[in-house]
Amino acid sequence: MFLCKFNNNNLEVELYHGTTASETLFAVKFNSTANPNVEFEFPEGVEVDNTETIYVECTNLENQASPASDFDGYATMFKETSS
């Protein structure tokens, strides 16, 4: 599971995965004023080996000039284990 927390509204959040330097888009979500955080859940998991990368790319969709609309947030990846 990926959890992205933001202090900005109106962001497009994209997750990329694959061989480092050749990652491909595999998930997209948007946030809003009512729901500023974005959560990606993958019931079957996402396997990453030592030649692969996962990265998060955020695009600011606000119509304000910087710095008022600069991205401010973080992304956390959780590894869930069965009990």
- The model carries a pTM of 0.75
Residue 52: other Cβ atoms inside 10 A: 14
Confidence of residue 64 (pLDDT cuts 50, 70, 90): low
Q: What is the pLDDT of residue 23?
A: 93
Encode pLDDT of 5-52 as tens digits: 777 678 888 999 999 999 999 999 998 888 888 888 887 888 888 899
Neighbouring residues of 25: CB distance < 8 A, sequence distance ≥ 6:
14, 15, 16
CA distances (Å), origin 54, targets 31, 43, 58, 63: 20, 17, 13, 28
Q: What is the pLDDT of residue 52?
A: 92
Distance of CA 27 to the CA centre of its chain: 8
